[in-house]
């Protein structure tokens, strides 16, 4: 079995990796409050880590994508297994593919992938707010 990169080079941290990925990432605690947010998620939410840390995750996502965020995130966190869903906000023209990944210690990671949707070229037309696709 090969050692993991982090085992070989202790100067690279998991946070270093999370700060370089193209997806937004935040970690929430058992009260659904954000305890970590990477720079890409801050860019998507147009804020700073200080503005997001301590906030309830679905309130932050609702500002980005509309009111469906709370229902979807609460349901996904309660299930306790990986859940993916897509949500679109016409207010921000933001389409997100959200992956909810439970972790140990009551923490949950949320991965946010922004993408652009078009009527042609393999994408689909933007959905109206409230129109959601989910995989459980």
pLDDT tens figures, 41-96: 898 888 999 999 999 988 888 777 667 778 878 887 788 888 888 887 676 677 88
Q: Check residue 18 and give its pLDDT.
A: 82
Whether 123 shows a pLDDT value over 70: the answer reads: no
Is 4 inside a domain boundary?
no
Domain count across the chain? 1
Is 99 inside a domain boundary?
yes
Is 3 inside a domain boundary?
no
- N-term to C-term CA, the chain: 33
Show the beta-strand stretches assigned E in the chain: 24-28, 34-37, 83-89, 94-102, 108-115, 133-135
Q: Taking all residues of the chain, what is their mean pLDDT, rounded to a whole number?
A: 75
Is 106 inside a domain boundary?
yes
Residue 107's domain comprises 22-135
Is 32 inside a domain boundary?
yes
- Residues 22-53: pLDDT tens digits? 888 999 998 989 999 999 889 888 899 999 99
Characterise 41 by phi-psi region: left (phi > 0), alpha (psi -120 to 50), beta (else): alpha
CATH of the domain at 110: 3.30.450.20
Considering just the CA atoms, what is the radius of gyration of the chain in Å?
16
Residue 109: how many other CB atoms lie within 10 Å = 16
For the question of whether the overall pTM of this predicted structure is more than 0.75, the answer is no
């Amino acid at each position: 079995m090969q050692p993991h990169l982090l085992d070989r080079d202790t100067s690279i941290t998991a946070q270093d990796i999370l700060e370089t990925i193209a997806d937004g990432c935040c970690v929430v605690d058992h009260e659904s409050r954000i305890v970590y947010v990477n720079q890409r998620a801050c860019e998507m939410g147009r804020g700073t880590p200080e503005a997001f840390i301590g906030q309830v995750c679905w309130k932050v996502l609702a500002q980005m994508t509309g009111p469906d965020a709370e229902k979807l995130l609460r349901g996904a966190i309660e299930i306790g297994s990986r859940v993916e869903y897509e949500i679109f906000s016409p207010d921000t023209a933001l389409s997100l593919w959200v992956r909810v990944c439970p972790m140990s210690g009551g923490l949950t990671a949320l991965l946010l992938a922004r993408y652009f949707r078009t009527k042609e070229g393999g994408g689909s037309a933007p959905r109206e707010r409230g129109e959601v696709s989910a995989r459980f």
